[in-house]
Amino acid sequence: MSKIGVMLCGHGSRSGAAVEEFAALARALAARLPDWPVEHGYLEFANPVIRSGLDALRERGCDHILAVPGMLFAAMHAKNDIPSVLNAYAQETGVTIQYGRELGVDPKMIRAAGDRISEALDSAGPVPVEETCLVVIGRGASDPDANANISKVARLLWEGFGFGWCEVGYSGVTFPLVAPCLDHVSRLGYRRVVVFPYFLFSGILIDRIYGFTDLAAKRHEGIEFIKAGYLSDHPQVVETFAERVTEILDGDTAMNCSMCKYRTQVLGFEAEVGLPQESHHHHVEGQGASAPGSNVSDCPLCGDFCTGACRLQIHHHHDHDHHHPHYPHAAHPHGPESVRQRDGSRK
């Protein structure tokens, strides 16, 4: 009989708080799956790295590993980077590794998101929901399918609560970023704006979202801006992760590939069909808080929070040691270029 173990594969963060939150989620998942050993690891920045978690499972006698991406949606990390690490490890060791799917758009995840929004509304004074605008902020990726999932989540929340209006923004990579999104929303005439980060964990990007929200509130004093909490280890999130593990053995684990830019001709991304799926993260694997850009206080480009200005420099000078496909809207005025005009950065 083979012994099953569970591997929760995270992205990793420069933020110690985010790393601890992910570890807490792994502990909650272990409590939810008491029959199997559970380990976790990270793709970049944080320790343990994914290979260390896999080693720990082998040391505990596991020869059949159920691995799931600790991510909301399937973009490059879930589709390319994590499978590359898992496949290489399975080849080297002979361990059987089965890979599950991302959390995705799921009723349990929508309930968790709804609870975070309800908590924010309950902590504020009474304003009719019809006079409130919801802003859902996603991570942002160079994958239009992953970005589109945020719009679906936003619509389900909008319709579920009956908000007067809803807009979607992103913390990086794509458009609109947080600041231009909130500038547009401020022109719509709503008394209250609820900013909800559809994120699992804390970190630099949450600081960025809340930081730009504070700046918008200063610019538009007649509008009440409310910051809703991110998902964290909400019980429905843990439940969804547990389902992603168990369905590997008895369900359908296939990611939705019908709109995947690596599989089909998606409008604007035709050049990326058939690209080899490989990991690009070895250069920052395990670096933790010593990684470049980890400390805002040392950054000459930012003030109180990370605006993402350093990413403009990195991509302009191409000082990565690996290649990213060209994002067709890199120069969009509401995307990363908008950071140059924002008062959250030191020019």
**Residue 80 DSSP code:** I
Minimum mean pLDDT among 48-57, 63-72, 209-218, 275-284: which range? Answer: 275-284
**175 pLDDT above the threshold of 80:** yes
**292 pLDDT above the threshold of 50:** no
Span 308-322, mean pLDDT? Answer: 57
Q: Are 13 and 45 in contact (CB under 8 A)?
A: yes
Q: 158 — phi, psi (to 5°)?
A: -55, -50
pLDDT of the residue at 327: 79
Span 206-214, mean pLDDT? Answer: 97
- Which SS3 state, helix, strand or coil, does residue 107 take? helix
Quick one: pLDDT band at residue 306, thresholds 50, 70, 90?
A: confident
Higher pLDDT among residues 322 and 78, named by residue: 78
Quick one: pLDDT band at residue 79, thresholds 50, 70, 90?
A: confident
pLDDT of the residue at 262: 62
- pTM attached to this predicted model: 0.85
Quick one: pLDDT band at residue 259, thresholds 50, 70, 90?
A: low
**137 pLDDT above the threshold of 70:** yes
Pairing type for strands 132-138 and 96-99 reads unpaired
Q: Are 301 and 309 in contact (CB under 8 A)?
A: yes
Helix/strand/coil percent split, the chain, to 5: 45, 15, 45
**328 pLDDT above the threshold of 80:** no
Residues 205, 202: Cα–Cα separation, whole Å = 7
* Token pair 């058939």 in the structure block, residue: 274
pLDDT of the residue at 285: 56
Residues 192, 254: Cα–Cα separation, whole Å = 40
The closest of 196, 197, 193, 181 to 139, measured between CA atoms, is 197
pLDDT of the residue at 80: 85
